[in-house]
Chain A
Amino acid sequence: MNTALSWIKAYVPDLEVTDQEYMDAMTLSGTKVEGMKRLDQNLEKIVVGQIVKLEKHPDADKLLVCQVDVGSQTIQIVTGAHNISEGDKIPVVLEGGNVAASVHADGKAPEHGIRIKKGKLRGVPSFGMMCSIEELGSTREFFPDAPENGIYLLPPDTPVGADAVEVLGLRDTVFEYEITSNRVDCYSVLGIAREAAATFRKKFVAPVISETGNGEDVRDFLQVEVQDPDLCPRYCARMVKNIRIAPSPKWMQRRLAASGVRPINNLVDITNYVMEEFGQPMHAFDYDQLAGHKIVVKRAQDGDTFQTLDGQIRRLDSNMLMINDGEKGVCIAGIMGGENSKITDNVKTMVFEAACFDGTNVRLSSKRLGLRTESSGKFEKGLDPNTAKLAMDRACQLIEELGCGEVVGGMIDVYPQKREEKTVAFDPDYINALLGTDISREQMLAYFQPLELVYSEADNTLHIPTWRQDISCKADVAEEVARFYGYDHIPTTLPSGAASAGKLSFKLRVEETARQAAQFCGFSQAMTYSFESPKVFDRLLIPSDCALRKAIPIMNPLGEDYSIMRTTPLNGMLTSLATNFNRRNKNVRLYEIANVYLPEELPLTKLPDERTAFSLGMYGEGDFFTMKGVVEEFLHRVGMNKKIGYDPTGSNSTGVYPSGKLPFLHPGRQARIWYDGQEIGYLGEVHPQVTDNYAIGERVYLAVLDLPYIVANATYDYKYTGLAKYPSVTRDISMVMKKEIMVGQVEEIIEKKGGKLVEKYELFDIYEGSQIMAGYKSVAYSITFRAADRTLEDREVQNAMDHILKALQELGIELRK
């Protein structure tokens, strides 16, 4: 909402503030000023001049040499403009003065404007400049009487030597307000003026609306019928005849222009003026185009079409409210009129409408039509029906005052259920207790006065004017008090009451550990979107019958690329890695902790299972086992110290992932991660086809841990085992075995058969190649034996080794000599 300060001052005549004071105080009382524009910015030493003599330039055909009376003196000005003649009054910037922009303003004015110096044009001295409207910082849009590419001509009665900026109404500042949606009343000049009066403790002077109309009665010419009063609480209609279309007066044009409304003609300008002033949109119909001289307000029918006055054909439905005449639709209520009844320059008699339409209905209709207008924007906030009559009378008053036509007497007012004032209890103790203040009752009442909240001593209530739809309970009244007491005057304290222990939830603590472990291992934190394209499943080679494809679709997505809620974090991770690869970043390691969304059934009837996934991805240095190390580092940090299992088949999957080999991973380089009888995640090398699909030209390794399982198993507990006092014995074994046998099986044997004496074992060599039979590999382990309470005897170690070797042999593993 943009409004010139001068317009506000028209209703708060005692208001004397600087622009900055106004902006700060209004913002602090709740009418936020978003910006301001001084209309006289960069305009200096600009006066009204009169051309007393005009001659051709001796050496240039296109230039004129003018003698201009500027009041105190007559100066010579050379100009290239040609729309001037002797006797014209024009704005003149004197030498040393300043204008806002150049005549060839392309919309961009220099920050400090343009300084005007005396100079010579083709040898003839010039001591100033006559100004176009662009040079004065405005446009022809707002000064419709300004010529194209010419000097702005002032009215003949303008006093010579006067301040031309003042004369043009540019000694003003336009403020831009951000109005909150609850303050419908402030989408109007009067609403803001009322706030300004309350903010600066000045008197608010509402415009005086006089009686209008001739001796006739509108009811003799027009009938109004409201068939759907639920969508139209009030409908006011008056008529104007003998219309004389002409430009509106300058003062009205200036105010509209400052509000960003383009002046058109007296009729249009009056409706716009009243809309700005009261926040009440009005509509005008050509009376002679209304069949049956009748207005019927009712819902449209599904499938109806209607041509709005912008020429577009609109498809209507039965939830849209239409204004009809005796035969046909003439206006989509509150949104836009029709081509068939619009006011033309030949209009003789018109019907004025000031109505109140249901805000929600206008909003939804406007949304369905894809048609938002100044009018619908106002209606959809929910207007006060009591304003309609005021606005109507105001408009008719302006019609008469501006000589725009003859207002017919009387008003048709269909207003079956009058909206009455609400009352709210006045409870100063509650207010002070809520705010933490100690404001006197009298002080509070003083704040209410300019707001027209009227106190009734009889029942200790406040009567709330109907335009203040935002006030309906004690807390709302408290806000009024707070606003005018000043939020900045309310003290600052900390909550009293019992102290409480602040903490992270256990889950968030696990996530924190995950971040630390990942970062420790060189992984940086990524964040990716929760929604993605259904096409990602193909890119990830996920088969069409896989449960992972059961993703929740969004009803109104931004586009297909963001249309389903992800069921795996893979696409986000791979896309991020691909971005890095594409930008030639080397050795990239990323992790993300974010949710996947697994529906129990589709369509969704209850909330899905939101599972937090801890995913890691990398390319460059490192391999499968690097990733495995990261997983183990994390599990160790959360105190999951039992044996971690790795199953390459996925055949016994119990987790949230599909059973069998994971299709997006390399079939020979993947494992499900098991802990304490539960599957907690997976890791592996990404399938080369998938890396191709993502255009990553390197091997990519991934690990995904299902955080709910981690949260369930994390202990953050560690038990000390005594530091060894007795010496250990180490035995190395070197074996040859079939390739298919996994070292995990060997380790299981070492652990089981070696018994308690085995302190640790370490794989120190693994080899396949020319020295070994095809299909076989050589594996070497170093096993350390130790007892906590004695020095081991050779016999004991040998015994343990015999058990191990026997079990290995049973697996078909041979010892290498």
Chain B
Amino acid sequence: MKEKLQKIREEALAQLESSDTLDRLNEIRVAYLGKKGKLTAVLKGMKEVAPEERPRVGQMVNETRAAIETYLDSARKKIADKMREEQLKKEVIDVTLPAQKNHFGHRHPNTIALEEMERIFIGMGYEVMEGPEIEYDKYNFEYLNIPANHPAKDEQDTFYINNDILLRTQTSSVQVHAMEQGKLPIRMIAPGRVFRSDEVDATHSPSFHQVEGLVVDRNITFADLKGTLAEFAREMFGEQTKTKFRPHHFPFTEPSAEMDVTCFKCGGKGCRFCKGSGWIEILGCGMVHPHVLELCGIDPEVYTGFAFGVGLERIALLKYEIDDMRLLYENDERFLKQF
């Protein structure tokens, strides 16, 4: 009996050894351990074994079964490993094949620039405000120190609805609204559409966007203006960006300045992009004119403030190297999807 079992075991092992598919393993399992299997047959023949022998034989049969099962498991694992390996080999892909596009929509480049600005100024404690696009003359001009017949009114080529109502030419009108509300201190930016009667071409549009900034508080200085806008420039155009303030003139600020930043293409060395100067003009700014504070009901002896205005399209065109302003209003999806 012992020999018989030994033989079954060796036979089974040899067969398992030479099997290379899971199906074959199963056949072997059935052939030995199945209901009609060879080992099962031995168990069935137990009744012919002497009763006192039975426990010993039973144990031997169980040992044999266990041995075969162990072999079966390891053979199964070997085959599974091999199959997995083959599968992995077969599944090699060319990772340089083109990516599958996600069909998400894209932001307008103006919006990217605006969101960036909003992020920066919100971080500095500014509120983002809005004002009307169709506006009273007094908010767009008069309260900003641009009285009737002031040449600046011509310079800005205003669209009029009637003598008192116009399409705002600058978001500076929102300054007046902010100050008029009488809640001090003020730290705000105001993005929005503005309108000037320029014919459409590569660098002009009768409708474009500005972002206005206004801070009014006690002890606000020109140095604060410089510091704030220098910080903005670094955040917006990169840590290495330097700023230059040049005297300029706006009716509603005094002193007034224009701010240049080091060219973000060449870093200030001078290139085609900055016309060799190394600098790019970015915004106009200044200390709120005492007369404007007064007109808006704020005591200029107690409060001072600074204001600035940025052309959003200008930033977008420069930053994303868009060479024709008309692209911003055509809405060709091939253009929009690049952002």
B127-A502 in contact (CB<8A): yes
B227 at the interface (CB under 8 A from A): yes
B254-A502 in contact (CB<8A): no
Q: 1/0 contact trace for B190-233 toward A, CB 8 Å?
A: 00010101010000001100000001011111111011101100
Return B229 CB to nearest CB of chain A, in Å. 9
Residues of B near A208 (CB, < 8 A) are: none
Bound: A181/B226 CA distance, A: 24
Q: 1/0 contact trace for A432-450 toward B, CB 8 Å?
A: 0111110000000000000
B124 at the interface (CB under 8 A from A): yes
B125-A527 in contact (CB<8A): no
Residues of A near B130 (CB, < 8 A) are: 505, 507-508
A493's partner among B215, B224, B245 (CB-CB below 8 A) is B224
Residues of A near B122 (CB, < 8 A) are: 502-504
A503-B127 in contact (CB<8A): yes
Given contacts A500-B187, A585-B332, contact A505 B220 (CB under 8 A): no
B151-A525 in contact (CB<8A): no
Bound: A182/B305 CA distance, A: 21
A381 at the interface (CB under 8 A from B): yes
Bound: A531/B194 CA distance, A: 12
- Measured CB to CB, the nearest residue on chain B to A522 is B103
A363-B154 in contact (CB<8A): yes
A610-B134 in contact (CB<8A): yes
B106-133 at interface with A (beta carbon < 8 Å) = 106-108, 110-111, 118, 121-130, 132-133
Given contacts A478-B254, A515-B111, A531-B207, contact A525 B127 (CB under 8 A): no
Interface of B is mostly: mixed
B328-A527 in contact (CB<8A): yes
A641 at the interface (CB under 8 A from B): no
A495-B105 in contact (CB<8A): no
B162-A588 in contact (CB<8A): no
Given contacts A183-B249, A435-B223, A524-B105, contact A558 B206 (CB under 8 A): yes
Residues of A near B273 (CB, < 8 A) are: none
A597-642 at interface with B (beta carbon < 8 Å) = 597, 603-604, 607-608, 610
Given contacts A180-B249, A479-B255, A497-B219, contact A558 B128 (CB under 8 A): no
A5 at the interface (CB under 8 A from B): no
A527-B155 in contact (CB<8A): no
B304 at the interface (CB under 8 A from A): yes
Binds A, one of B8-16, B32-40, B83-91, B284-292: B284-292
A576 at the interface (CB under 8 A from B): yes
Residues of B near A528 (CB, < 8 A) are: 329, 331
B290-A475 in contact (CB<8A): yes
Residues of B near A488 (CB, < 8 A) are: 244-245
A649 at the interface (CB under 8 A from B): no
A562-B206 in contact (CB<8A): yes
A526 at the interface (CB under 8 A from B): yes
A17 at the interface (CB under 8 A from B): no
Given contacts A433-B221, A519-B107, contact A604 B255 (CB under 8 A): no
A435-B221 in contact (CB<8A): yes
- Measured CB to CB, the nearest residue on chain B to A603 is B162
B257 at the interface (CB under 8 A from A): yes
Return B164 CB to nearest CB of chain A, in Å. 9
Return A755 CB to nearest CB of chain B, in Å. 40
Given contacts A492-B223, A501-B125, A555-B162, contact A522 B218 (CB under 8 A): no
Bound: A610/B193 CA distance, A: 12
Return A485 CB to nearest CB of chain B, in Å. 10
Residues of A near B59 (CB, < 8 A) are: none
- Measured CB to CB, the nearest residue on chain A to B231 is A494
B151's partner among A181, A553, A558 (CB-CB below 8 A) is A181
Q: 1/0 contact trace for A20-33 toward B, CB 8 Å?
A: 00000001111010
B160-A500 in contact (CB<8A): no
B185's partner among A380, A497, A503 (CB-CB below 8 A) is A497
B297 at the interface (CB under 8 A from A): no
How many chain A residues touch the partner (CB < 8 A)? 91
Residues of A near B328 (CB, < 8 A) are: 527
Bound: A474/B246 CA distance, A: 20
B181 at the interface (CB under 8 A from A): no
B106-A524 in contact (CB<8A): yes
A475-B331 in contact (CB<8A): no
Given contacts A181-B152, A562-B206, A590-B331, contact A518 B227 (CB under 8 A): no
Residues of A near B207 (CB, < 8 A) are: 529-531
Return A574 CB to nearest CB of chain B, in Å. 11
Residues of A near B199 (CB, < 8 A) are: 558
Given contacts A475-B254, A490-B222, A529-B329, contact A505 B134 (CB under 8 A): no
A502-B332 in contact (CB<8A): no
A101 at the interface (CB under 8 A from B): no
Bound: A554/B160 CA distance, A: 6
Residues of B near A562 (CB, < 8 A) are: 206
A483 at the interface (CB under 8 A from B): yes
A482-B244 in contact (CB<8A): no
B337 at the interface (CB under 8 A from A): yes
Residues of A near B46 (CB, < 8 A) are: none
A492-B227 in contact (CB<8A): yes
A558-B160 in contact (CB<8A): no
Return B316 CB to nearest CB of chain A, in Å. 11
A482-B222 in contact (CB<8A): yes
A579 at the interface (CB under 8 A from B): yes
Bound: A180/B245 CA distance, A: 15
A580 at the interface (CB under 8 A from B): yes
Given contacts A527-B331, A597-B134, contact A493 B246 (CB under 8 A): no
Return B30 CB to nearest CB of chain A, in Å. 39
Residues of B near A597 (CB, < 8 A) are: 133-134
A520-B331 in contact (CB<8A): no
A557-B151 in contact (CB<8A): no
B160-A555 in contact (CB<8A): yes
- Measured CB to CB, the nearest residue on chain B to A470 is B249
Given contacts A360-B149, A473-B291, A494-B228, contact A508 B160 (CB under 8 A): no
Residues of B near A502 (CB, < 8 A) are: 121-128, 187
Bound: A553/B167 CA distance, A: 11
Residues of A near B159 (CB, < 8 A) are: 531, 554-557
B334 at the interface (CB under 8 A from A): yes
B318 at the interface (CB under 8 A from A): no
A434's partner among B103, B149, B304 (CB-CB below 8 A) is B304
A203-240 at interface with B (beta carbon < 8 Å) = none
Q: 1/0 contact trace for A371-390 toward B, CB 8 Å?
A: 00000000011000000000
A535 at the interface (CB under 8 A from B): no
A554-B167 in contact (CB<8A): yes
- Measured CB to CB, the nearest residue on chain A to B230 is A492
A524-B195 in contact (CB<8A): no
Bound: A584/B172 CA distance, A: 41
A267-302 at interface with B (beta carbon < 8 Å) = none
B262 at the interface (CB under 8 A from A): no
Residues of A near B197 (CB, < 8 A) are: 556, 558
A496-B247 in contact (CB<8A): no
Q: 1/0 contact trace for A527-558 toward B, CB 8 Å?
A: 11111000000000000000000001111111
Bound: A491/B257 CA distance, A: 15
- Measured CB to CB, the nearest residue on chain A to B167 is A554
Return B146 CB to nearest CB of chain A, in Å. 11
The contact sample of 20 A-B pairs, CB cut-off 8 A, is A30-B246, A363-B154, A437-B222, A478-B255, A487-B247, A490-B223, A495-B224, A502-B121, A502-B128, A507-B130, A519-B106, A521-B105, A530-B193, A552-B134, A555-B160, A565-B134, A579-B331, A583-B334, A590-B336, A604-B165
Known contacts A181-B151, A495-B217, A610-B134, then 10 further A-B pairs from the complex at CB < 8 Å, ordered by chain A residue:
A29-B247, A380-B151, A434-B222, A490-B222, A502-B127, A503-B127, A525-B105, A526-B108, A557-B159, A589-B333
Instruction: For the complex of A and B, list the 4 residue pairs with the smallest distance between their C-beta atoms, beginning with the closest.
Output: A436-B223, A436-B221, A30-B247, A180-B249
Identify the B interface with A (CB < 8 A). Answer: 103-108, 110-111, 118, 121-130, 132-136, 149, 151-152, 154-155, 159-162, 165, 167, 185, 187, 193, 195, 197, 199, 206-207, 215, 217-224, 226-228, 230-231, 244-249, 251, 254-257, 287, 289-291, 304, 328-334, 336-337
